[in-house]
């Protein structure tokens, strides 16, 4: 867990200090996409090899759908409330 926070902190510092030029930022975006796809692929392989997960997939799928719906609703509500709280209307200053 410490390694994760160390790498995250290092990335934050590089971004905060603006150490990457435009070319580096484009490369960073491509690498993020490639490694995200690799992560999703590896998760798919792990799920496909696990027979217990495959047997319980209908139940897990329903729970995942509910979780996704409530996450979207909660995020939307939070953005709405925070934008009403912190963003001023154009006419008021």
Q: Per-residue confidence at 61, pLDDT binned at 50, 70, 90?
A: confident
* Residue 90 in this model has a pLDDT that exceeds 70: no
* Residue 58 in this model has a pLDDT that exceeds 90: no
Tokens encoding 89? 């209307």
CA distance 68 to 11: 28
Of the candidates 35, 44, 37, the residue with the CA atom closest to the CA atom of residue 7? 35
Q: Per-residue confidence at 48, pLDDT binned at 50, 70, 90?
A: confident
* Residue 14 in this model has a pLDDT that exceeds 80: yes
């Amino acid at each position: 867990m410490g390694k994760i926070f160390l790498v995250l902190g290092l990335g934050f510092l590089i971004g905060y200090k603006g150490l990457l030029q435009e070319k580096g930022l484009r490369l960073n975006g491509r690498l993020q996409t490639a490694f995200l796809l690799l992560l999703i692929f590896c998760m798919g392989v792990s799920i496909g090899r696990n027979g217990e997960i495959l047997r319980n997939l209908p139940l897990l799928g329903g729970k995942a759908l509910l979780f996704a719906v409530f996450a979207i609703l909660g995020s939307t509500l939070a953005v709405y409330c925070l934008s009403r709280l912190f963003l001023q209307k154009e006419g008021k200053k």
